[in-house]
């Protein structure tokens, strides 16, 4: 089989695995995968407006609104109207939400991290730079396929990634 075909099959397998993991976490926590992703995004940024959240997750604001409604009802996130600009709504994890994120979701990652750290250092570097290649190719591909987005938006996203 061609190397490129092998890569595609493996990528699909990887995505499938993470997908199944998400479902497991979901079952364990009573939080749906999209809700979980919102919470993960909030954990990384500590505070975001719902508009920023929508852009980050590539969903419409309306969708974010409904997910936030449910998370708020469960008291996992809190909304607060902006003080200076009252149109904005700042969203953040509640203590309860932060607590939940300390549990199952990270233990899954921990297992991965432990396996990863069992590798030799040279192998770790190899894997990381391979993932960089893949990520770059896929990203370029997306830029090719959708040259419609405004540059500002793309720029902003890249800055988000650069932060980490």
Partner DNA sequence: TCAATATATTTTGAATAGCTAACTAATTTA
Partner DNA sequence: TAAATTAGTTAGCTATTCAAAATATATTGA
Which residues would be at the binding site for DNA (CB under 7 A)? Answer: 23, 32-35, 49-52, 58-70, 79, 84-89
Nearer to DNA, 60 or 125 (CB): 60
Q: Phi and psi at residue 73, in whole multiples of 5°?
A: -60, -35
Of 101, 79, 87, which Cα lies nearest the Cα of 35? Answer: 101
- DSSP letter at 148 equals T
Q: How far is 129 from 14, CA to CA, in rounded Å?
A: 17
Q: Does 20 bind its own copies (CB under 8 A)?
A: yes
Could you give the CA distance from residue 75 to residue 57 in angstroms, rounded to a whole number?
21
DSSP 79: E
Cα separation, 89 vs 52, whole angstroms: 10
Q: Which of 75, 99, 132, 155 binds its own copies (CB under 8 A)?
A: 132
* 7 is an interface residue for its own copies by CB under 8 A: yes
132 binds, among its own copies, DNA, none (CB under 5 to 8 A by kind): its own copies
DSSP letter (8 states) at residue 78: E
One symbol per residue from 57 to 76: x for binding its own copies (CB under 8 A), - otherwise; what is it?
-x------------------
Q: Pull the structure tokens for residue 6.
A: 């092998």
Binding flag, residue 108, its own copies (CB under 8 A):
yes
Closer to DNA at the Cβ: 44 or 110?
44
CB of 132 to DNA, least distance (A): 27
Q: Show the CA angle centred on residue 128, arms to residues 125 and 132, nearest 5°.
A: 135
Which residues would be at the binding site for its own copies (CB under 8 A)?
1-11, 13-21, 23-24, 58, 108-109, 111-113, 115-117, 119, 121, 123-128, 130-135, 137-142, 144-146, 161, 164
């Amino acid at each position: 089989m061609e190397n490129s075909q092998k890569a595609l099959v493996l990528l699909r397998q990887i995505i499938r695995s993470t997908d199944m993991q998400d479902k497991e976490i979901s079952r364990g926590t009573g939080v749906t995968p999209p809700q979980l992703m919102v919470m993960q995004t909030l954990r990384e940024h500590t505070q975001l407006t719902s508009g920023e959240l929508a852009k980050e997750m590539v969903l419409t604001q309306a969708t974010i609104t409904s997910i936030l409604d449910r998370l708020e009802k469960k008291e996992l996130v809190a909304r607060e109207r902006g003080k200076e600009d009252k149109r904005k709504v700042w969203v953040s994890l509640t203590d309860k939400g932060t607590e939940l994120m300390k549990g199952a979701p990270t233990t899954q990652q921990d297992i991965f991290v432990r396996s990863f750290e069992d590798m030799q250092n040279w192998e770790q570097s190899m894997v990381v730079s391979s993932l960089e290649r893949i990520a770059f190719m896929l990203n370029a591909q997306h830029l090719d396929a959708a040259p419609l987005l405004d540059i500002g938006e793309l720029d902003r996203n890249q800055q988000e990634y650069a932060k980490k």
